[in-house]
Amino acid sequence: MTAIKSELDIVYNSDKDLKTDIYYDTDLKSYSGAIIDIHGGGWFRGDKSKDADWGERLAKEGYFVVVPNYRFTPAAYYPAPLEDMDNLYEWLKDSDYPFDHDHIGVVGSSAGGNMSVEMGIKYGIPIVSLSGILDIDDWLAKHQDVVPQPGDTNNTFNSTASAEINQTGANDAFYKWFVVNYFDGNEAEFEPATPYHRVTDKTGPMYLANSMNEFVPTTGVIQLEQTLIEHNIPVRTRFLTGSRHAKGYLDDVYDDTILFLRQTM
C-alpha cells in the first residue's frame, strides 16, 4: 500500500516567511519529477491546506509534490503572487530533494490556474489549469457596465472543500470584482497580465479545462488555445457541462491530466 508522507510549513522564502507543504511516497527513493500545485482563491483568500487532497493524489502517482502558499490582497497585489512562484521555482530547482530537477510541472485551479499558465509561459514547463483566470483585459473591456460585487467572500473559505465553492453558474459581478481587486484598480496592468498576449514558441505544453456555465468565462481558454496552436505549442482543452468550478470537476478530468503530465514531463 502506498505510504504518502506530508511535511508541512517548509519555508521557501525566509524574507517574506512564505511556506510550502510537500507530499511524497516514502516507498520511493527517487521521483521522476516534481509537481507544483497552486491553490485558488481569487488572489484574495485561500490556503495551501485546501489542496492537500490533490497533493496526496499526485504523490500516489509517484511525483514529488509541492503545495505552496503565496501572498494575496490586500497585503500584496499583482504581480506579487507570480514573483512568489518564481521564488518557489528557484528554491525547488536548487533543492536537494530526490527528483529529476529537469522535470517539473505545475497544476493549479482558478487563480492558481492562471499562475500555472504564467509559469508555463515563463519556464516552458508543462502545466494543468482548471478554470484558470485567463481572460482579463478583453473581458473587462467588454463588460464595463457590470457592477463589481464581492459575492462569495465568507470567512469559512479556507476550511471549505474547493468542490463546494462557487458552484452556482455565471457570476460576472463577482468575477469582475476579484479580477479588478487583484490589480488594486490599476487598469494599465490588465493587458500585460493577460497570459495569451505573451505566449511564445518556447511556452510549455498546456492542459486547459473549464465548465461551460461557471463564473470563470470560457473565452480565456478558447483564446489561449488558439494562441498556443499558432505557436505550435501542444495543448489539450476540456469543456465540461454544468457550472462546477475548478476542483469541483477534478475527478472528471483527473485521468486525463495524469496522462498529459506523464506524456509531457
At residue 150, the pLDDT reads 86
Q: Is the peptide bond before 74 cis (omega within 30 degrees of 0)?
A: yes
Phi, psi angle pair for 66, to nearest 5° = -120, 120
Cell of 245: 468550478
Distance separating alpha carbons of residues 70 and 107, to the nearest angstrom: 15
Domain ranges of the chain: 4-264
* pLDDT of 166 higher than 90: no
At residue 159, the pLDDT reads 46
* Predicted TM-score of the model (pTM): 0.94
Measured torsion, CA atoms of residues 35, 226, 256, 259, in degrees rounded to the nearest 10: -60
pLDDT digits (tens, 9 = 90+) for 49-65: 999 999 999 999 999 99
| Answer CATH for 4-264 from 3.40.50.1820, 3.40.50.10140, 3.40.50.300, 3.40.50.10680 | 3.40.50.1820
CB-CB neighbours of 136 under 10 Å: 24
For the chain, the maximum distance between any two Cα atoms, rounded to a whole number of angstroms, is 56
3-class state of residue 229 by DSSP: helix
Phi, psi angle pair for 24, to nearest 5° = -160, 160
Q: How far is CA 43 from the centre of its chain?
A: 11
Of the listed ranges 95-99, 136-140, 168-172, 245-249, the least confidently predicted one is: 168-172
**CB 199 within 8 Å of CB 223:** no
Cross-strand partners of 99: 31
- Positions of E strands within 14-152: 18-25, 34-38, 64-68, 104-109, 127-130
Nearest alpha carbon to residue 40 among 246, 217, 215: 246
Strands 4-13 and 235-240 come out as unpaired
